[in-house]
Amino acid sequence: MCGLAGVARIGGQDLGPETDGLLNRLTDILHHRGPDECEVLRQGPVGLAFTRLSLVDPEDGSQPLVSDDGQLVLIANGEIYNHKELASALPSDVRLSTGSDCEVLLYLYRRHGMDFLRDVRGMFAVVLWDRARRRLVLARDRFGIKPLYYHQNDERIVLSSEIKGLFADPATPRRFDWAKALAVPSLAAAPRFSAPEPCTWFEGVTSVPAATIQCIDLQDGSSTRHRYWELPSEPEESGDARHLTERYAELLEASVRDCATADTELGLFLSGGVDSAAVLALAREQLGEVHTFTALSGGTRENGDAESSDRLARELGVHNHQVVFGPQDVPTADEWARLVWLTETPMTGPEVYYKHELHRFARQERPELRGMLLGAASDEFNGGYSGEVGTDWASFLHSVEGMSRATWHDQEPMLRHWWTPSGSFIDSRALRELTGRAHDAYTEYLGSEYRKIQQYNVWHEDRTAAGSGVEARVPFLDHRLVELVATVPEHLRPELLWNKRILRDSVRGWVPSWVAEREKVPFFYGPGTGHAYRMLVRLMKRDGRELVNRALSAPGAETFLDADAIGAALTGFGDGYTDAASVEILMGVVNMGLLAGMAAQPPTLSDLSAGPVRTALPHGVHPVTGTEEQFAAAVVHPYTPDQVPVVSEALLVLSDAEGTCYLANEGQIEFEVEPKAPILRVVRCIDGEATLAKVLSEAGVALSDVGDELDALLGQRLISFDD
């Protein structure tokens, strides 16, 4: 991973020495992306800045790279996995002068022009200065794993791996784009397909599209784009399930082998599911000693991720660091603002926070670690979400059809009237043709997932890793793998793509059967979600709602944000366990305000504190063993045994003639419980003076038996705990 930046003058004139200050500021801003080395080059109308994180050929991989005739200059971020194969096919008179995996790109471009990335396999962002043609060539990998942004006016173009770098140039607007941001469906959790183009969130900022080569003529500033890859949209009609599964296994093994190649230490995020388990099983022999990192929170303990990761690491004989996120661990306003500025997206939420903290811990624990293997982006193409929106393949497709209709209704609102709940006299295929939509809703769905990973997945994976000087590597985004699953014949989709069957069957023999068949659980959604949402609520309420007040004072907030509604929502959430999805939506709204404020007066990332690095469970202590009561209280539940529980006056215990008991909130029944339920004994023993430990002892109940019920009562504010 590296940081790329530059500035180029339009109109033919050379840059002057005054540009050096801007180039040096750019290297400072992107230092976290490349802490090992920085270089600046000013040549004619182009100035380039490069910061390096050394993973391949640390001694001989400096950039910029220059062709043997001096006509091509290149800086690149990422890895070219098949660089040796590509180099062997170059003309015999080409002699590569470094061990850099990116140098081969110079000669591929010289030989093939706009087709130079056709056979390249990897993740990359490229800036190439073609001196002879006086043009700047910008390009990104097929999935946009590596970022590249620019701002262009009539006089110059400035570019950077991160948006904050563009703000170093006074001519770049420093305004959050409220209108475009509010039109992003996923930010409001709308059940729609992803927008055609990723939103960059800021006015005047453009992202070089994934799978695209963009040429900018520095004589007149004109620009052309060449798309060198498309997500396949036509299913293959050949092949059976067994053949496709075997082929998937071969490709996954090859992809992991590519991603696990480095001259420095690599780690792995281990979630306990089949995705990261498969990557670990394939990578461990190549890497030898490998350290894995798992988020240990109330949510991951409740959904089984923490236990599964611990068990798998022990069975495979690797190190597993269970990094603790306790119920009292809430970032400060400054720490959260820094995270939002690092990620540059209002879609910063619990998942992003956890991963950022895992990277920080990993880099402190293993100072030589430079890369992290991830199981990310498997669900998007392997049918990982099918079981979340359907009970079988047919119901999954029905849900997908609904999302498709809702999306094109937004785009063609006048046609909405011909589609009603009771049916329509107009054929749905004809309506689709009028909108130019594909007839295959599943293909539309895959296209939406392809765009979603650019807007959210690879965006935050890049930034959370880069913040700690780490490169994120994503084996499941090998384009050969994605092409295979995208072209599975329609009649084989239920067999291979329901519940990730193609992946589960392909990894048999590599991972224990229990993890191959373990049901998918989201990183923090589903069981245990309330623990993460409670953290967000406490964050927004912390220190007199400081974070929210910052957001409300940002440019544009007075126009776009409803301060009264935000305040009322925070009050309504209470202080306890909550599962309301609107918590995350509100967090996105607050993040928009934070970005608007920081864009207007861009802070220096290195001046912002990320807070203390977290700790992990001591060696030999496991998520489900040891002192269970203390562990559960410290990590899972937002209270400790020595705190005193207090029953709200609104709590009433009722019963009917059959003996069934109810817990009511001001007369409104909230919970139905059995007459001998342990939680009833606990409630009756609470006197407002005894500690929770004493109450549990008097009731003859273990915390593990009533923890979920106590969480629920806390969320309803029917009980509270002293501080």
Looking at the annotation, which residues are catalytic? 2
Distance of alpha carbon 287 from the chain centroid: 25
State the CB neighbour count (10 A cutoff) for residue 455: 22
CB 343 within 8 A of CB 464: yes
Residue 467: exposed, middle, or buried by beta-carbon count in 10 A (0-12, 13-18, 19+)? Answer: buried
CB contact set of 213 (below 8 Å; sequence gap of 6+): 114, 116, 117, 137, 138, 139, 225, 226, 228
CB 73 within 8 A of CB 41: yes
Return d(Cα 17, Cα 43) in angstroms, integer.
11
Question: 479 to each of 145, 210, 431, 450, 482, how far by Cα in Å?
Answer: 12, 12, 33, 11, 5
Return d(Cα 237, Cα 234) in angstroms, integer.
9
State the CB neighbour count (10 A cutoff) for residue 430: 10
Return d(Cα 377, Cα 381) in angstroms, integer.
7
Return d(Cα 129, Cα 45) in angstroms, integer.
10
The first and second tokens of residue 477, run together, are: 């985004």
CB 45 within 8 A of CB 134: yes
Helices (H), 35-144: 83-88, 104-112
The answer to whether the Cα torsion of 605, 459, 225, 451 is positive or negative is negative
Name the β-bridge partners of 652.
664
DSSP-derived letter for residue 517 is: S
CB contact set of 445 (below 8 Å; sequence gap of 6+): 193, 400, 403, 404
State the CB neighbour count (10 A cutoff) for residue 116: 23
Name the β-bridge partners of 46.
8, 43
CB 228 within 8 A of CB 118: yes
Return d(Cα 3, Cα 29) in angstroms, integer.
9
> Which of 232, 119, 152, 149 is CA-nearest to residue 488?
232
Question: 52 to each of 164, 168, 358, 361, 364, how far by Cα in Å?
Answer: 18, 19, 22, 21, 19
Helices (H), 553-691: 557-560, 563-573, 582-600, 628-631, 678-685
Could you identify the residue written with the tokens 């940081």? 3
Return d(Cα 91, Cα 107) in angstroms, integer.
9
Name the β-bridge partners of 654.
662
